[in-house]
Structure formats: structure tokens, C-alpha cells
A and B are shown apart, each in its own frame.
Chain A
Amino acid sequence: MNENRADALQTMKNIAAHPELYIADWKSKQKMPVIGIFPMNFPVEIIAATGALPVIIQDSKEPISEGNSLLAEFYCGYTRSIADQAAKGMLDIFDAFMNADHCIQLLGSVDVVRELLPDKPVYFEHLIAAMDDSWTKTQVQEKIEAFIIEAERVTGQPISDEALLACIQSNNKNRQLLRNIFAARRNGDAQFSPAELQAMIVSSMIMDKNEHSALLESVLADAVAKPRDQRIRLHLSGHFCHAPRVELFELLEDCGAVIVDDDLYTGARYISTDIKESMPPRMALADWYFARNETIPCPTRVQKTVDWDSYLLNALDNSGAEGVIVVMAKFCEAHMFYYPELRKTLNTHNIPHLLIETEHEGMPVETIRTRVEAMIERIRRKSPTRQITQESA
């Protein structure tokens, strides 16, 4: 691997693994605030337009201890990790926090942050989830304005439309670069592993976007497509708010599968939609909220005119994926609600699929392996070409 490309990839991996080091370094150089952002719908361009750094807060790999005495054990791993990080001082590096998502578990953890870090602003505006109603559009526009005012107050920096547009452009560029990489994977290029793709996305959530785009350009400058082999092609679906453990990807590949597409939050969902540069920037930020749910529907929103299950069928057609692994963060209610709809559609179309629930600590590798192997076997038996290939082998 070319050295520049290897260095750039390694930098992204390091930052994804240790956001705190990057944040501390950025702060010491830029002398500007860092704002912690909770997933999944806050438009980070607002913060970037003040010169501050917006960082989407990741779950920590550290086992949850104190967090379990702040939130119930049946809260999802991400929210308990947030509480845990707050209790252990791991969020002290942030100067303020912002959230636009009404998930009751997420709000529980954000309230913990507010209680444990009383000197830091913890701001929430509720972007209404009912996407079809005309009054939601007005409300979201008002909330975007409120976020802008709060960002100005917290950072002490005014936000001009010019600054917003510049940040929209740099974020769009970053999304486009990442989308190109994901599109190449969909079209048969296997040069990046799933873990590397995840590191690219997670580091994008943490870093200054111009800096991140420069790293991506270094990687892409020396990119050489690597044709995908003949393993079983899978689509990974779901897993909101935080990244699944890379051990899961490794296990799937170990079982004879190759991941060709996804709609994970720390994947294609995060980069799905650009903010329109042709619109006035404040309007464009509100428009983005609705547009994202049209591109890849999310079960945390309610919208009659889009279906996640239809999206999924279409995505499978585009990528040629032969099966779906639904990756559900345990206790994620929105996902629990929608999963049977996905299951019904996949069953109707005779598409093999498997539900894997993930937890913050521990992954029952051998149990999952058995289930994945059974699913892969089912796909092989379903495809005459696959059967012939296997018999020849």
C-alpha cells in the first residue's frame, strides 16, 4: 500500500478509536470550543459555521460501570455509555452539547449529561418526527433558527449565511467523497474492508471536514480497485446512533460472506444526502432533515410516503446482495417496531435474512457464527450457480 494512503487510513483509524486525542489537539491549536453533538439529525454545519468543532459523540469501548447506576440496564448500550462517559469525566473535553433527536432513551442520557456537567450548556430542540405534516416543516425551520441562535450564544461567534454556505459545501464534499467509496464497494470494489469504511465514517463524525476530506483525497489518489471475490454478498441494515463492533464484520467475512452495502448510521445513512447549495442556507438545513428520510427512510421518523422495506429491496437490487443481516442495537425501540415490517417484506421476496442484536459488552461470537453459517448455507442452496461453484470446489 502506498505510504500516503496507508498513513491517511491509519490517521482516520486512530481518530475513530481515540476521538479525545484529536479533540484535545484541535482545541490546543484552534483555541475554539468543541461542541458535543448527539446523533442522528443535528446539522453540524451550524456549529462549524462559528469556527467551533462539532463532534458527534461516539460510544466508548470501555465497559459500562457508573453508567449503569444512572440509567436502567434496559437502556441501549449507546445511551448507557454516554451516561458512563459523563460520570467518568470523559465528556469534560466538550464545551457544550446539542441534540435535535427525540428518542426517550437518548434524552435520558442527555439529561444525565446535563445533571453531571451543570456548568456546560446542554441544548435540545425537538425536531418533530411526523414528517408528513405541513406544520412540521415550519416547526423544523424555527428550530434550526433556534439552534443557530444558541450556537452563536455558546461560541460568541455570529453565524453569517456565507459561513453557513461554506460549511455546507465542505460537508457536502466530504459526504460525496465517502459516497464515492461506498458506491465503488457496491459496484464490486473490495479494496477497503468494512472496518476501514467504518473508520472513515466515524472519523468524519469527529474531525474538521476539510481536514477529513484531505485525508480521503490522499486515500483515493492512490486507490486501485480490487475486484470482489465470489463470497456470499450481504447487506447490513440498521444499527442506529452508533457503530457496531468491527468484530462482527470480521465474523461475517470469516463465515464466507462479503459486505457489499449497508444502511447503517455509521455507514451509508450518515452520508446519504447533501444539503442543497442552491437554497438559502438556513432553509437548506431544514430541508435536509426531510430529504434524508426520503433518501434512506429511518424508523425513528414517521412518514407515510416512504418505506424502509421498499428502500431495502431497491438497495439489494442495486448491490446484488443475496441476503440481509439486520443489526439491531439491543433495546432500540424504533428498530424493534420496524423490524417485523422488514422481515415480512424480505420473506415475501424470499430473501434470506438474519436478525443480530448487539450489546455494548460482549458478543456471543460462536452463537452468531452458527446462525450466520446457517443463513449462508441457505443462500448457497437457493442459488443454482452457487451450488455448482461449491460442488466444483
Chain B
Amino acid sequence: MSSATPSSVNRLKSNDAGRHMIADYWDRIFTANERDAQLVWYNGAALNPIFQAAGLEWAHGEAFAARLSAQKLEKSAQLAAQEYGYVGELCSYARTHLGTALLARQAKEKYSKGIVDDAERDDLASRLPMPNFIVNCYAGCSTGQQWDEITHRILGKETPIFNVSLPFLWSNRPDAGYLKGQEWEEASDYVAAQLYKLIDFIEVQTGRPFDWDALRQGMKYIKEASEIRREAMAMCANLPAPATFWDWIASVAHINFLPAGPELVEYFSNIRDEIAHRVASGESAIKDEKYRLYFDGIMNWNKLGTLARVFAERKVAIVAGRYTHNAFWQEPQLIDTDDPIRGMAQHYLLCPTNHGFQTIKHFTKHDCELYGLDGIVFHSTRTCRAFTGPQQMLAKAMQKEMGLPSIFFEGDVADESFYKGELLESRLEAMLETIDVRRSRDFIASSASNA
């Protein structure tokens, strides 16, 4: 009789306990029409505290595409998009979401004719209700605004749309840098001014005054949750790592778009406490951690479990990543809970693709040092040109300046046809051998110098 091989992945239990929050959230979205709730579709930055304070339901386009992909339910939306004419090289988040827009429009048209299609009702991709309005607030990637412009056109140009424009933080001036300089301050003011205009727009759409107290209260919860999340992340500098990148991926939804409230704070407190307990007891996130790596690139949602296993089985802890550690309310000290708009605007600018190369190099080096990492894995994300832009220069710079080896593997954010698993595995094994050789050399050199 065969026995199941124990998994090398030791996932955080508190993440599993928080999964129902995501399911509950999507259930609210899918039933928005039945409850006569107003629904906003949005893309890009975490505007949800504003929507929550305005009494809206909010559906994040990228999040829905990610959810479909993670559940392997993205195909019907991608097929609808393909039939409409989108080329397969288009951002797969956008392609999937535009597919859901086409399906939503189709479902509405059928419904208006009294047709109920059981197959469609059972297809998750068809269940996103049509929005009352659209808001776009996209940093870094130029695709963002174009995407929602096209969504607006697909839905018949009648759905109101509001664009918050986020300037790219290029660093023209000598004083420019991460969270500093005239460019940063001016961009912060520019975006904050638009957020006030967005709230004016929302007041028109809802027909009621905006609840500023609710926003302040919501941002208190988010700030607290973020501080706890950062505290927990910092504990992962510990050897062995008590949690990995994959654990942080599992909590992206919570920090990025779930409702702000005591449950959110409790969720991240539980994560922190579990991590603290693991540190105290020496419990590792993967079995027999031997290597510690950084993950650069956006998530490959189709292959979440596969990737976690591929690395863990080779004793690799992916400890940090650009996507998880340099996004999602990652600088909570910027939030003034009494007057939160400017701090929110600053976070919207802090998307990890909204910086010039030098700034990206700056925070990547910082993370690699902080977490004591041995190398970098670059997810060369086929349809995400925003994340992949600086990767090759970053690989060269990190090798040159920190001696860190790296590998690239090909995949995509939401289109699994681009994933090349065997290449990842062979390249990963080669890099781990390189790390072993370097460690042996360092050991011999250090023994010789001590002799």
C-alpha cells in the first residue's frame, strides 16, 4: 500500500482560516444586482477604502482575472476575448477581464429578453454583474487606462468612467529617489487633488454625500493591518524563514481589496502571531530550508501551487518579492488617518512598476540584504511588460553589485499557455549548484584565512 508523500510546503494555517473572507467578498459582488447595490468596476490601485466609505460594492478587474486563473476557470473569458478579436499577446489580465465584460454584457442582453442560460449561470466568468460606473487608477503600466477605456467602449459607452492619472516616477532631478524629492511631492499633490475630484464624481453617482468619517475609520484599519503585515514580513529575515512569498501571495487579496474592518486586522494579527510562534519554535515554512531566493515579477496565478512545490522540493524558500513586498499599503507611516487622502495618493504612486530602474534596484537590493538572500528568480511574464521591463538590467546589476546569481523562467500572469515548467526546473537546479559552489569556495577561503 502506498503512502502519501508529506508536502515540503508548510503553509500558514492562519491564511487558510482567512480564505472565507475572499469567498464572502466575491459572493457580495455576484449578488450586487439582486441586492440593488451599486457596483463599481475598477482597475489598478487600491481605491476600495473610498468605495467602501461611499457605500458601494467594488470589483477589481485584475483581482477577478487572477481569481479565475487561480481556480482554472479563466478559459471561457479568454475565449470570449479571443473571439472578439484580442490578440493573444495582449495583457492576459486585461484580456480575461475584457472577456468577462463581454460575457456580462451578453448575460444582461439575454436577461433582458427573459432568457436564463444555466451554463452561463454556472460559469464563474459570466457572473460578474455589469457596473454602475468604472474608475481607473493605474500606475506604472500604460496599459491600465487603455484597458478601461476599452471596457467603457465594450459596455456601450454609457457607463460613466473616471480616470485617476498617476504620473510615472521617472526621477529626473538629482534630489529624486524612493519617497523623496520634489518629483515625489509634486506627484503626491497631483494625485491627491484627483482623489478629491473622484469623491465628487462618486457623490454624483451615488446621489449622497461622501462619508468622510467612514473613510478615516477604514484607513485606520488598513494602516493597522499594514503595520502588522510589515512586522510579520520582517520576521521572515529569520533563518529558517517562518513564511514565504507564497504565504504573502495568499494574503494579497486581503490587503489589496477586501473590506477594511476589524476582521482584516484580526486576520493579519493571526498571521503575525503564527509567524512569531514559528520563529520562537524554529518552525520552517518549507522542509529543510537550504536556499533563500527573491521573486521578481508579477504572480503566475495559474501555477500558484505548482510553483510553491517546485521551489520547496528543492529546499528553496522564496522569502520576498517585488510584487508582495513593494506593493499594497507597504509604507503605512505615510497614512495620516485623520486626513488620509495624500497618504493614499502616495501609495497609489508606489506601485512597484511605477519607478525608474534605479529606484527598483534600490529596493530590490534592500530586500535582498534584509532577508539574507542567495539569488533571484525572475518571472519573465509574457504579457506583463510593466514588470518585465527592468528585469534584465536588474539581473546584471544584482550580479555585479551584490554577487547574486539569477535565473529567468517564462510564464504569464493569467494565461497558462506561456508557462514553461521544465525550463524553470532545469535552470533552478543549475543556479542552486552555482550557489553550492560559491558557498564551498567561501568556506574554503574562510578556513584558509582562519588557519
A-B interface pairs (CB < 8 A), number: 125
* Listed stretches B27-35, B162-170, B248-256, B273-281; interface member: B162-170
| B89 lies within 8 A of A111 (CB) | no
Known contacts A107-B168, A343-B85: does B152 contact A304 (CB below 8 Å)? Answer: yes
- For B135-172 the 0/1 string (1 means CB < 8 A from A) is 00000111101111110110001000101010110101
Q: Is B193 an interface residue (CB 8 A)?
A: yes
Q: Is A363 an interface residue (CB 8 A)?
A: no
Q: Is B304 an interface residue (CB 8 A)?
A: no
Contacts of B380 in A (CB 8 A): 72
Interface residues of B in 333-382 (CB under 8 A from A): 353, 356-357, 380, 382
- A75, A130, A334: the one within 8 Å of B165 (CB): A130
Q: Is A352 an interface residue (CB 8 A)?
A: no
Contacts of A299 in B (CB 8 A): 146
| B190 lies within 8 A of A102 (CB) | no
| A304 lies within 8 A of B157 (CB) | yes
Q: How large is the interface on A (under 10, 10 to 19, 20 to 34, 35 or more residues)?
A: 35 or more
Closest residue on chain B to residue A73 by CB atoms: B380
* Listed stretches B103-111, B207-215, B390-398; interface member: B390-398
Q: Is A70 an interface residue (CB 8 A)?
A: yes
| A339 lies within 8 A of B87 (CB) | yes
Contacts of B190 in A (CB 8 A): 135, 139
Q: Which of A69, A72, A74 has the most CB of B within 10 A?
A: A72
A70 to B393, CA, bound (A): 6
| A72 lies within 8 A of B356 (CB) | no
Known contacts A130-B145, A135-B193, A340-B84: does B389 contact A108 (CB below 8 Å)? Answer: yes
Known contacts A115-B357, A124-B172, A129-B142: does B91 contact A333 (CB below 8 Å)? Answer: yes
| A133 lies within 8 A of B163 (CB) | yes
| A337 lies within 8 A of B94 (CB) | yes
| A135 lies within 8 A of B194 (CB) | yes
Known contacts A72-B391, A135-B194: does B172 contact A130 (CB below 8 Å)? Answer: no
Q: Is B385 an interface residue (CB 8 A)?
A: yes
Q: How large is the interface on B (under 10, 10 to 19, 20 to 34, 35 or more residues)?
A: 35 or more
Distance from B194 Cβ to chain A, minimum over Cβ atoms (Å): 7
| A135 lies within 8 A of B167 (CB) | no
| A336 lies within 8 A of B86 (CB) | yes
Interface residues of A in 316-351 (CB under 8 A from B): 328, 330-331, 333-334, 336-341, 343-344
Known contacts A130-B163, A340-B85: does B385 contact A333 (CB below 8 Å)? Answer: yes
| B142 lies within 8 A of A108 (CB) | no
Q: Is B197 an interface residue (CB 8 A)?
A: yes
Contacts of B145 in A (CB 8 A): 129-130, 302
Known contacts A72-B380, A72-B391, A333-B385: does B168 contact A126 (CB below 8 Å)? Answer: yes
Contacts of A107 in B (CB 8 A): 168, 170, 389
- B90, B91, B146, B194: the one within 8 Å of A302 (CB): B146
Contacts of A74 in B (CB 8 A): 89, 382-383, 385, 388
| B165 lies within 8 A of A104 (CB) | no
Distance from A300 Cβ to chain B, minimum over Cβ atoms (Å): 7
Known contacts A337-B90, A341-B150: does B170 contact A124 (CB below 8 Å)? Answer: yes
| A103 lies within 8 A of B142 (CB) | yes
Q: Is B386 an interface residue (CB 8 A)?
A: yes
Q: Is A71 an interface residue (CB 8 A)?
A: yes
Q: Is A114 an interface residue (CB 8 A)?
A: yes
List 7 interface pairs A-B (beta carbons < 8 Å), by A numbering.
A104-B142, A107-B168, A126-B170, A135-B190, A302-B146, A333-B143, A338-B146
Chain A residues proximal to chain B, CB less than 8 Å: 69-72, 74-75, 102-105, 107-108, 111-112, 114-115, 123-126, 128-130, 132-133, 135-136, 139, 150, 299-300, 302, 304, 328, 330-331, 333-334, 336-341, 343-344, 357
- 8 A-B pairs with the lowest CB-CB distances in the bound complex, closest first: A340-B85, A108-B389, A302-B149, A130-B163, A336-B90, A128-B165, A124-B170, A111-B357
Other A-B pairs beyond A124-B168, A330-B89, 9, CB < 8 Å: A74-B385, A75-B385, A126-B167, A129-B145, A129-B146, A150-B172, A331-B89, A333-B90, A340-B86
Chain B residues proximal to chain A, CB less than 8 Å: 84-87, 89-91, 94, 140-143, 145-150, 152-153, 157, 161, 163, 165, 167-168, 170, 172, 190, 193-194, 197, 353, 356-357, 380, 382-383, 385-386, 388-393
